[in-house]
Amino acid sequence: MINQLKEMFGLGPKVDYKQLTKEGAIILDVRTKGEYNSGHIKGSVNIPLDSLSKNLNKLKKDKTIINCCASGMRSASAKSLLKANGFQSTYNGGGWASLKNKIK
């Protein structure tokens, strides 16, 4: 249970987000449109968490997906939702600004 919580909140083994993006990972920003428009990672896809379940068809299950939001809470929920719907390679990248620094 503890390991599942650590994994869900991105506290597990260190993930090389820069390498994942080099390999073609999609950055999924699950903040609202307004939040996204005020600043985001270039090339990221914005699907707000509250509409993610209705828009899963916009994502490919064979791609690695790195979720981000403002703090990491919504991106953790997005990771769980994606996993429950058959997306195997998905990560909680946490807050978008922090993730942006990790992939530079």
Structure tokens at 63: 């791609």
Residue 8 DSSP SS3: helix
pTM of the model: 0.88
User: How confident is the prediction along the chain (104 residues), in pLDDT tens digits per residue?
Assistant: 555 555 555 556 689 999 999 999 999 999 999 999 999 999 999 999 999 999 999 999 999 999 999 999 999 999 999 999 999 999 999 999 999 999 98
